[in-house]
Each structure stands twice: as structure tokens, then as C-alpha cells.
Structure 1
Amino acid sequence: MPSDRIDGTLRDILHHIDLATEFAGGLDREGFAADLRAVYAVTRCLEIISEASRRLPEELKERHPAIAWRQMAAAGNVYRHNYEDVAARLVWETVQQALPPLRAAIEDEMARS
């Protein structure tokens, strides 16, 4: 059963997954790249998800080995410090490919409580 702190972190991650998905919704890759507001909003959501993922305990992460937890945590540094290198294409691919399985893992953990 997750602690209140872990439960709050899981809710934060889920909330920002939903926001990122909403901000990118209705756009294709090119439309997303052309929408500077959407790119910035989604990138901020990914920063928050990255930071929140660092607060999750290792045993939780071990239950979901298909999630690239280390890369997720490291991505936040890229978003914050190498922002000139953050390509809309990579942000788009993260939303499309990485967030759905992460959402499933987070929902699984929330259901454990």
C-alpha cells in the first residue's frame, strides 16, 4: 500500500500525463512542432513527470521493468539545461510512445492502494 507521499507523487505523474496528452491532442507531429505553446506546455509536463519519478521508491520501479525510469529521470535535466537541444519531434515521440505505458504502470500502482 503506497504511503501518502507516494500516492501524491503517483497522482502528480498521472495528472501531468493527462495534461501532456491533452496539450498534444488533435495534433499530428507537424502540427505539434508548429504549435510553440503546445511544445512548451508538453515539455513542462515532461519535466514535472521526470522530477516526480525520482521520488518513487525502487521497489515500485522494479515492478515495472518495461518503463525506462533512469532515462525518464535524466530527461528532466535535458529539458531544463539543454533546452536548445530539445526537439519537438522527441517530445512528440515521448507523448506518443512513452506516456501510454507509463500511465498504465501508474494506474496499476494506484490500484494497489
Structure 2
Amino acid sequence: MARGAGRCRLCGRFAATRRAHSSRSHSHLTRDDLQRIADIRDAAADVAKVVALGRDSFLATTIHQRGVERLLEIIGEAANQLSREVKLRHPDVNWRDIGRLRVLLAHRYHRVDPALVWVIAEGDVPELVAALAGE
């Protein structure tokens, strides 16, 4: 094996030489990105189940509100951990607001407006899933 050959420390792929596979050649998704996108999709699917029950049911049922809030926290944390590369491929997604929502839900829970959570669950979450459809 050539000097410097072996597994890439960043992605685990084999490379014949360091030159053939430098850290700058990582244009693929990392396992972490794939898992985090799956986490976003899974949480969004659960949000959709609550949304399917309707707005009135959501606003009348605290456990549904808290469940969706937690799912939005998961979506926010997973989105925060996505690589810069993935985020740059989706400039239409407001990544900063997704992160800010997670902070609000986790740390300013007493200020959460269920009607706003509904709007996000019904509109913004499906838009995020659609934006990530190609990943």
C-alpha cells in the first residue's frame, strides 16, 4: 500500500493515497448528516400525525402541544448539527430560525404560543421536509 494510503479519518472511505482523497474532497454526505436528516423526517412524520387531527384538537389538547413542541426541538437540534455543506445546498431554508425555535422551546417554554406552534407544524415542517427531499 502506498504511503498515506488507508482509511480517511473523516469519513472512513479507503483511498489509495492521501492525494487521491484529501479532506477537501468530501462532497458526499456524512453518516451524521444522513442520520440527522432521517431524524428530521421521522419527527416531521410524527408532527404530521398530530396535524391530521386538526387545529381545534391540537389547541384543546395539552399533550399534543407538548408532543409537537418536543418534536420541533428534535428537528431544531438535528438541523443545527447538519454540516455546513448540507445547509449551503438549501439556502431557501432559514436554518437560523429553526435553531432559534429550538432554543425558545427548550429554554423559554413559558413563552410558547400554541397557535404559533400549530402554524409551524402545519406549514413550516412540511416545507422543510420537501426542501430536504433530494438528500
Q: Taking structure 2 as the reference length, what is the TM-score of the superposition?
A: 0.75
Structure 2 counterpart SS, 1:67: coil
> Percent identity between the aligned chains?
29
What does 1:1-113 correspond to in 2, within 5 Å?
1-28=28-55, 30-109=56-135
**1:24·1:42 contact (CA, 8 Å) conserved in 2?**
no
Task: Please report how far the alpha carbon of residue 100 of structure 1 lies from its aligned counterpart in structure 2 after TM superposition.
Answer: 1.4
Structure 1 counterpart SS, 2:29: coil
For 1:91 and 1:56, the matched residues in 2 are separated by 23
For 1:5 and 1:31, the matched residues in 2 are separated by 35
Structure 2 counterpart SS, 1:107: coil
Report which of the two has the higher share of helix: 1
> Whose relative contact order is higher, 1 or 2, with alpha carbons under 8 Å and at least 6 apart?
1
Q: Taking structure 1 as the reference length, what is the TM-score of the superposition?
A: 0.89
Aligned AA (2:57):
G
- State the Cα RMSD in Å: 1.1
List per-residue Cα deviations over 1:22-55 (Å, max 9, x = no partner).
Answer: 1222212x32111111101100000000011111
- Gap regions ≥5 residues in structure 1: none
